[in-house]
């Protein structure tokens, strides 16, 4: 059975992970330039200085996308390439580079889906407090308006933020992503609500600059799936997916989506964080309706099974010994792609795009000169089957973007993990499409009818 008509098939990347050209044509430093150049912060001391060198090899990457028969491509714009200081003067060379790229996508019949913030905050704004400073939100709105006005008529779809759960939770709480802070829950929530405030101001700015543009957000978070098909377990999984408590709220969808979907700021059990929620400035509360979404992006990799306990409350089920895992160690749970979209569509009633889904494998060039990755084909096949079940159950999922088009710089993991449909030999930059690329092309051509 094929996917719905007009279902969008694409792939995704992020600027700092693939572009390189970190110090060229007026680009300013980002927090990831600073973080990756700090000893001990990334595996092997890897940086995104060169990455996949897509800044220079973008035409080659365009040919790869065309060969894949991609219908859409989700990529991020580097904020410090447009505003080197985060605000102030625009860098014309930065806009010109994305002009060439967007025009080439359109000429190839590939729809651009633009992410405005995929974690590379200009270092100049971090020096002023970063997301702990509400001025960063206002600067983000100016950046968003500038991009939307410039690409009016060419770019129709914008994601303001990618995974605030990671940029805030891992960057301001766990300290394993830039800027590398380990703050208490109250301070972390300050960064969080300034990030959501930024989305709201940016969404309004985009719509004013281009009334035809569609605006979404691409969060991630805990997905809980029912241990059995019983109504009790389904209710428990739903409750656990959206539950919030001190020390356990950053990696959830609720505080990202509730405020901008008309549900207000959610209650967070415990006390410390809720006091910060209750003290949010009125101007930020007044901005929430501006952040309304036209669609939700979901970055889905795995989930956890939940059952109803004797008291009816959710209980997390332990994973079986030897459960399947990816090369990075993440559990393989295809059911996440059924229940995640079902629960989010049920709660928010909005169209959904799967904006990231994929896995890291221990890929290599084989003796025949090819990259054989049956694990990736099997993983994607299973997850897409589950996604189709979710759609049949009523989730309004309108597209799927595989993560990632290319092997790339995987943040604190450096070049240790390979997520791409295309193998990248980093010393030379040579690209080699993997077996999964051919399989994905067949899936696109069949609109999933080959699954």
Clarify whether 335 is annotated catalytic: no
Clarify whether 163 is annotated catalytic: yes
**Residue showing tokens 């290599």:** 364
Burial of 60 (0-12, 13-18, 19+ CB in 10 A): middle
Question: How far from chain centre, in Å, is Cα 179?
Answer: 18
Measured between alpha carbons, how far is 195 from 167 in angstroms, rounded to an integer?
A: 9
Measured between alpha carbons, how far is 143 from 148 in angstroms, rounded to an integer?
A: 9
- Token code pair at residue 150: 């410039």
- Crossing angle, helix 435-445 and helix 54-68, to 10 degrees? 50
Residue 225, phi then psi, degrees to nearest 5: -120, 145
- Token code pair at residue 374: 């049956």
Residue in 163, 335, 410, 417 annotated catalytic: 163
Cis peptide before 404 (omega within 30 of 0): yes
Write out 85-147 in H/E/C secondary structure: CCCCCCCHHHHHHHHHHHHHHHHCCCEEEEEEECCCCEHHHHCCCHHHCCHHHHHHHHHHHHH
What single DSSP character describes residue 9? E
- Look at phi and psi of residue 429 and say left if phi exceeds 0, alpha if psi is from -120 to 50, else beta: left
Residue in 19, 335, 338, 356 annotated catalytic: 356
Residue 382, phi then psi, degrees to nearest 5: -65, -45
Among 140, 172, 178, which Cα is nearest to 33's?
Answer: 178
Report the catalytic residues. 163, 356
């Amino acid at each position: 059975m094929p996917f719905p008509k007009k279902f969008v098939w694409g792939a995704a990347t992020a600027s700092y992970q693939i572009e390189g050209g970190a110090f060229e044509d007026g680009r300013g430093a980002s927090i990831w330039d600073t973080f990756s150049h700090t000893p001990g912060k990334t595996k092997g001391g890897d940086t995104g200085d060169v990455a996949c060198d897509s800044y220079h090899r973008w035409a080659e990457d365009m040919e790869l996308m065309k060969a894949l028969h991609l219908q859409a491509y989700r990529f991020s714009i580097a904020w410090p390439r447009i505003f080197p200081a985060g605000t102030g003067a625009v860098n014309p060379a930065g806009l010109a580079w994305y002009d060439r790229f967007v025009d080439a996508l359109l000429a190839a019949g590939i729809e651009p889906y633009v992410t405005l913030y995929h974690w590379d905050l200009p270092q100049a704004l971090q020096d002023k407090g970063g997301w702990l400073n509400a001025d960063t939100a206002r600067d983000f709105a100016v950046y968003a308006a500038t991009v939307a006005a410039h690409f009016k008529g060419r770019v129709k779809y914008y994601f303001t933020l990618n995974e605030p759960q990671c940029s805030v939770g891992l960057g301001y709480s766990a300290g394993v992503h830039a800027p590398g802070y380990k703050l208490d829950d109250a301070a972390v929530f300050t960064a969080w609500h300034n990030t959501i405030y930024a989305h709201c101001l940016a969404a309004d700015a985009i719509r004013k600059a281009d009334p035809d543009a569609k605006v979404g957000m691409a969060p991630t978070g805990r997905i809980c799936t029912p241990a059995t098909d019983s109504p009790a377990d389904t209710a428990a999984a739903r409750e656990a997916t959206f539950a919030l408590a001190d020390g356990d709220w950053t990696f959830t969808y609720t505080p990202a989506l509730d405020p901008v979907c008309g549900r207000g700021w959610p209650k967070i059990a415990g006390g410390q964080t809720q006091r910060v929620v209750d003290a949010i400035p009125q101007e930020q509360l007044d901005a929430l309706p501006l952040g309304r979404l036209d669609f939700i992006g979901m970055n889905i990799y795995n989930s956890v099974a939940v059952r109803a306990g004797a008291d009816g409350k959710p209980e997390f089920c332990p994973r079986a010994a030897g459960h399947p895992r990816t090369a990075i160690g993440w559990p393989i749970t295809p059911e996440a792609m059924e229940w995640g979209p079902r629960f989010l569509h049920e709660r928010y009633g909005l169209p959904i795009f799967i904006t990231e889904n994929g896995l890291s494998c221990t890929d290599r060039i084989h003796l025949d000169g090819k990259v054989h990755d049956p694990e990736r084909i099997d993983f994607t096949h299973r997850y897409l089957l589950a996604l189709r079940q979710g759609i049949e159950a009523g989730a309004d999922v309108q597209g799927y973007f595989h993560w990632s088009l290319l092997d790339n710089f995987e943040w604190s993991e450096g070049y240790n993990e390979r997520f791409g449909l295309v193998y990248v030999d980093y010393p030379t930059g040579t690209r080699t499409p993997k077996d999964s690329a051919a399989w994905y092309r067949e899936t696109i051509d069949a609109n999933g009818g080959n699954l």
